[in-house]
Chain A
Amino acid sequence: MQKNKIFLLTFVFVFTNWINAAVYDYFPRKLEATSSNYGITGILNMPNARLMTEGSMKIGFSSSFPHEYTYISATPFQWLEASYKYTELKNLLYGPSSYSGNQSLKDKGFDLKIRLLRESYYLPDISIGWNDLAGTGKFSAEYITATKNIRDVDFTLGLGWGSLGKDKNINNPFKEFDQDFKNRETEFGEGGSFNYKSWFSGDKIALYSGLEYYWWKYGIILKLEYDTSNPDITYGGQPALDVDSRFNFGLIRPINENFTIGLSFERGNEFRFSFDIKSDYGQKPLVKKNDPPKNVIKLNKQQQKTLKGNNEIFYRSLNRGLREENILIQSADLSDSELKITIAQNRFRNYPRAIGRTARIASALTGEEVNKFIITPMNGDSEVYSVEFRKKDFDLVEQNRIGVKELYQKTKIYSSEPERYKENEFQPSVKFPEVFFDMSPSLRHQIGGPESFYLGQLWWKINTKIKFNRGLSLHSTLGLSIYDTFDEFANPSFSKIPKVRSDIQEYLSEGKNNIARLKLDYIWSPYKDIFVRVDVGYLEEMFGGVGGEIYYRPFESNFSSSIQIHKVKQRNFDQRFGFRDYEVNTGHVSLYYDFPRGIQSQLLLGKYLAGDVGATIDLSRRFNNGFTLGVFATKTDLSSKEFGEGSFDKGFYFSIPTDSFFTNFRQGDISFGLHPLTKDGGAILNHLNSLYSIYGDTNLKSVNRDWRSIND
């Protein structure tokens, strides 16, 4: 009887869970793990073991007294979450009032969390994390935490070190392995270096816990935690705070799929308000695409007969058809059995999609005697590769009779010989010079300075490109100031090395109306897989000069490399036509490698703008739709002292494909990059048209990645 009861209870429990699994799809709001107060996924002040969905990015804000956080978090991999945050410490001044007025102290920090074990039926999510990694140490902490969901409740248990372990309720278990873990460094410096010797150290640490109840019915998450950060104990130069309770609680309400607000009560005496905007850009666009191929009607036999032997009409028809898709013929050649087309376009990020749309139109216009298509896309006036398939196979894909994978197997894809397109019969006439022009409002700013947290300029940016011939173009960017707050700058650079970047305040305040760029470049491909650029002029806002780049991209390899050298001179602060005295020869050997799963790496070795010599490592994750998240770090022969605060140059960037926000396809990205500090060490030229940016994503791997779009 007892056995039956246990069986029945087990059955009911399991079965109820199964029923509930379906119910979750019908609740009014999707509930998922949310941010801690400071960005990384967590309960409130304490982190849990959860991470955002892979490819997600979130911008958020939470405010209370004395800590106010503004953060950006991202999940480049399903096992890694990173967050960059500004913390305003409202109870501390930035510096003496003569230096920074009444501005409160701002602390920059970088948090990282790695999932060690993914939650399963019996086992919890387990993660390890670092708060304020390479920061000033005011909030430095490490943790190992486990979170398990049991019937709509996420239970979290964790071990906290550093600022999360001030409760000191248990001994540090790592002492058993090495006595070095017993002592934790309590000196707090300028930040910027990885103080790894302090990680997971301290005689005593804290065991913390918390729970989050997913109240699906009402679309709310209730949170409760035992806070072991004990702000009533001074830490990192911060004054002690009144603590009436070690329990914090709060509630989170997703307003919609992207926007979440929260309210919590912490330390028993302060409220906190928070909100964040999140999207999983890597997995799906914000707006669903509705940009199908144009309908084409195949020519009937009579029409085909008329076209046959009259290539001129055929080319014009093809040209017109492709223009409907914003694809421009660069050349074409129709013989008895094959059609060669070279195309250029700036609508599709993904070349196979452009190739597919070209083939669709070509197929409709050609008769049965044409059985092979050779389509060559161009970028930057150079052929990037050629794709050769049977017309019949493409038609079968269109008719859903074979899959795109089968077409891929039957397709020859190879690197193009340069300027082969000139051998084709049809060469549309192009009238040079071509002028391209666009303008838009833009922002320039400095964030986190001592004078004010944000100083900025609304700037009218006018971009012009005059193309004199294939590959030869003059690029200009002019800026007109609309409104700015740059007059408040009061923090000149005292750098001991050539001030190649740290005079940023002078460049911004004196160059409000400026010629940000005025350069002539010539790009061509002298040999297969080799691309060359030479450029001269005002290359960027701070430097002008002359130089060039050679890029080698073996088509079938995931590896590519480049060499670039420039002789440059520093521009005047007003960014008109004059130069300052400083000049330097700068250049790098760059090695690029594409790892699986969209991981792209770059290693730059060479001489930087300040004359320092060293290396830059750049790692990024590119999702299939083009959303990219990346980090970089540069270490040169400058000592930490010479470099100054931050110890070495580092930063992160992301770019969101513009067409994520539109129903139709278009090229372009909305990019954002951040150096926490503008320093002179490890500085490189800000290039327009680096060859890697033009040709880096045109190797066989990229074709393979995007091939599914051939029929889209």
Chain B
Amino acid sequence: MTKSYSVNLIRTLIILFTLNSCSNLDVSSPSSSVFNLLLKNFSETGVVIGKETIESIPYASSLISFGGNAKSLIILESIMEDTNTWISSDKVRLIENNGRIIRTMGMPNDLYYIERPDLDFDFLLTKESLSYIAYYSFREPVLNNLKVEINSEVIGLETINILGKKRQLILIEESLYGPMINWSAKNKYWIDPITKYVWKSKQYLSPRLPHVQIEVTKKPAS
């Protein structure tokens, strides 16, 4: 079972590799890295990632983009309780918990840990707005326990289209402010009103990184 999973995973990574190559990101070159993914304007003129591609991959998948640049595909590598680990062709790992990225690995600057109250979206949707404090820790370079003031606000329903499929989702906005470094940002989460599943999000993971946008194209099996 484990062997079959590994073989499938490798096969899928090869598909991702090919997709990205076509989208103008030469992952085979030594200079290629997630830094290119983040900072280079690779266009969407290559292969269009469509439903068929998603269906051909036997794993949960999401479209990811950094700083509004072209989208690339990530797939679910593992599930551990409520925590999902997503992996890109560059071997960047995003660890997500209930729609929130709580840790990254392999980025030029990594989010290491967020200490925050246990407030899930089920609870936040019942509050028009809510303020709380979180502490962010980063690596490359190291910064521990950066205090971030967060104000969460329910905005309302919006229609979101992911690969042609339209969904009515509730938008929650989180305003972040790190007073020590004067860091301001706004995270957005689009949540299914029934299942409370986060289908789409725009999240700021670090003051040194552009925002990351994630659209779930194939949801992990629950």
A residues neighboring B (CB under 8 Å): 19, 22-23, 25-28, 216-219, 288-290, 292-293, 295, 712
Interchain CB contact under 8 A, A295 and B181: no
Q: Which residues of B contact A27 (CB under 8 A)?
A: 181-182, 207
Closest to A28 in B: B182
Interchain CB contact under 8 A, B30 and A26: no
Question: Which residues of chain B (12-57) have a CB below 8 Å from chain A?
Answer: 26, 28-32, 36, 39-40
Q: Which residues of A contact B207 (CB under 8 A)?
A: 26-28
Interchain CB contact under 8 A, B30 and A23: no
Closest to A289 in B: B31
Q: Which residues of B contact A23 (CB under 8 A)?
A: 143, 146, 180-181
Q: List 13 A-B contacts (CB under 8 A).
A: A23-B181, A26-B181, A26-B183, A26-B206, A27-B182, A27-B207, A28-B182, A28-B207, A218-B182, A290-B36, A292-B31, A295-B28, A712-B30
Q: Which residues of A contact B182 (CB under 8 A)?
A: 27-28, 217-219
Q: Which of A23, A25, A289 has the most CB of B within 10 A?
A: A25
How many inter-chain residue pairs (CB < 8 Å) link A and B? Answer: 48
Closest to A19 in B: B144
Closest to A288 in B: B39
Closest to A711 in B: B30
Question: Which residues of chain B (162-185) have a CB below 8 Å from chain A?
Answer: 180-183
Q: Which residues of B contact A712 (CB under 8 A)?
A: 30
Interchain CB contact under 8 A, B143 and A292: no
Q: How far is the CB of B23 from chain A (nearest CB, A)?
A: 14
Closest to A293 in B: B29
Closest to B136 in A: A26
B138 beta carbon closer than 8 Å to chain A: yes
Q: Which residues of B contact A292 (CB under 8 A)?
A: 26, 29-32
A28 to B40, CA, bound (A): 21
A295 to B32, CA, bound (A): 13
Q: How far is the CB of A577 from chain B (nearest CB, A)?
A: 51
B119 beta carbon closer than 8 Å to chain A: no
A9 to B206, CA, bound (A): 32
Closest to B207 in A: A26
Q: Which residues of A contact B39 (CB under 8 A)?
A: 288
Q: Which residues of B contact A216 (CB under 8 A)?
A: 181
- Main SS of the interface on chain B? loop
Q: Please name 4 further chain A to chain B contacts, defined as beta carbons within 8 Å, in addition to the given A22-B142, A292-B26, A293-B29, sorted by A numbering.
A: A22-B141, A25-B141, A26-B138, A295-B28
Number of interface residues of B (CB under 8 A): 22
A505 to B208, CA, bound (A): 53
Other-chain contact of A26, B26, B28, B36, B146 (Cβ < 8 Å):
B146
Closest to A292 in B: B29
Question: Which residues of chain B (137-152) have a CB below 8 Å from chain A?
Answer: 138, 141-144, 146
Interchain CB contact under 8 A, A28 and B29: no
Interchain CB contact under 8 A, A25 and B143: yes
A292 to B31, CA, bound (A): 7
Closest to A27 in B: B181
Q: How far is the CB of B33 from chain A (nearest CB, A)?
A: 11
Q: Which residues of A contact B138 (CB under 8 A)?
A: 26
A506 to B169, CA, bound (A): 75
Interchain CB contact under 8 A, B181 and A290: no
Q: Which residues of A contact B40 (CB under 8 A)?
A: 290
B residues neighboring A (CB under 8 Å): 26, 28-32, 36, 39-40, 138, 141-144, 146, 180-183, 206-208
State the 5 A-B residue pairs at the shortest beta-carbon distance, nearest first.
A292-B29, A217-B182, A25-B141, A22-B143, A26-B207
Interchain CB contact under 8 A, B208 and A26: yes
Closest to B143 in A: A22
Closest to A29 in B: B182
Interchain CB contact under 8 A, A28 and B30: no
Q: How far is the CB of A219 from chain B (nearest CB, A)?
A: 8
Given A22-B142, A23-B143, A290-B31, does the pair A28, B36 have CB atoms closer than 8 Å? no
Q: Which residues of A contact B141 (CB under 8 A)?
A: 22, 25
Q: Which residues of B contact A19 (CB under 8 A)?
A: 144
Q: How far is the CB of B111 from chain A (nearest CB, A)?
A: 12
Q: How far is the CB of B209 from chain A (nearest CB, A)?
A: 11
A295 to B138, CA, bound (A): 36
Closest to A295 in B: B28
Q: Which of A23, A216, A218, A290 has the most CB of B within 10 A?
A: A290
A23 to B207, CA, bound (A): 11
Closest to B138 in A: A26
Other-chain contact of A25, B30, B31, B36, B208 (Cβ < 8 Å):
B208
A293 to B31, CA, bound (A): 10
Q: How far is the CB of A257 from chain B (nearest CB, A)?
A: 13
Q: How far is the CB of A181 from chain B (nearest CB, A)?
A: 49
A19 to B145, CA, bound (A): 10
Q: How far is the CB of A304 from chain B (nearest CB, A)?
A: 22
Q: Which residues of B contact A295 (CB under 8 A)?
A: 26, 28-29
Q: Which residues of A contact B142 (CB under 8 A)?
A: 22
Closest to B146 in A: A26
Q: Which residues of A contact B30 (CB under 8 A)?
A: 292, 712
Q: Which residues of A contact B26 (CB under 8 A)?
A: 292, 295
A219 to B207, CA, bound (A): 14
A521 to B144, CA, bound (A): 66
Q: How far is the CB of B40 from chain A (nearest CB, A)?
A: 6
Interchain CB contact under 8 A, B31 and A217: no
A218 to B28, CA, bound (A): 41
A406 to B140, CA, bound (A): 30
Q: Which of B30, B181, B183, B206 has the most CB of A within 10 A?
A: B181
Interchain CB contact under 8 A, A217 and B181: yes
Q: How far is the CB of A407 from chain B (nearest CB, A)?
A: 16
A264 to B180, CA, bound (A): 27
Q: Which residues of B contact A25 (CB under 8 A)?
A: 141, 143, 208
Q: Which residues of A contact B36 (CB under 8 A)?
A: 290
Q: How far is the CB of B211 from chain A (nearest CB, A)?
A: 15
Q: How far is the CB of B210 from chain A (nearest CB, A)?
A: 13
Q: How far is the CB of B136 from chain A (nearest CB, A)?
A: 10
Q: Which of B39, B146, B182 has the most CB of A within 10 A?
A: B182
A217 to B146, CA, bound (A): 13
Closest to A663 in B: B40
Interchain CB contact under 8 A, B31 and A26: no
Q: How far is the CB of B122 from chain A (nearest CB, A)?
A: 32
Closest to B36 in A: A290
Q: Which residues of B contact A217 (CB under 8 A)?
A: 180-182
Q: How far is the CB of B216 from chain A (nearest CB, A)?
A: 30
Q: How far is the CB of B134 from chain A (nearest CB, A)?
A: 15
A218 to B32, CA, bound (A): 34
Q: How far is the CB of B143 from chain A (nearest CB, A)?
A: 5
A253 to B12, CA, bound (A): 49
Q: Which residues of A contact B28 (CB under 8 A)?
A: 295
Closest to A400 in B: B30
Q: How far is the CB of B42 from chain A (nearest CB, A)?
A: 10
Q: How far is the CB of B21 from chain A (nearest CB, A)?
A: 9
Closest to B179 in A: A217
A288 to B36, CA, bound (A): 10
Q: How far is the CB of B106 from chain A (nearest CB, A)?
A: 19
A289 to B35, CA, bound (A): 12
Closest to A21 in B: B141
Interchain CB contact under 8 A, B29 and A26: no
Other-chain contact of B143, A26, A288, A289 (Cβ < 8 Å):
A26
A295 to B39, CA, bound (A): 22
Closest to B206 in A: A26
Closest to A215 in B: B182
Q: Which residues of A contact B146 (CB under 8 A)?
A: 23, 26
Closest to B182 in A: A217
A290 to B29, CA, bound (A): 10
Closest to A25 in B: B141
A22 to B142, CA, bound (A): 6
Q: Which residues of A contact B29 (CB under 8 A)?
A: 292-293, 295
A712 to B146, CA, bound (A): 39
Closest to B29 in A: A292
A176 to B111, CA, bound (A): 61
Closest to A216 in B: B181
Q: Which residues of A contact B208 (CB under 8 A)?
A: 25-26
A555 to B146, CA, bound (A): 57
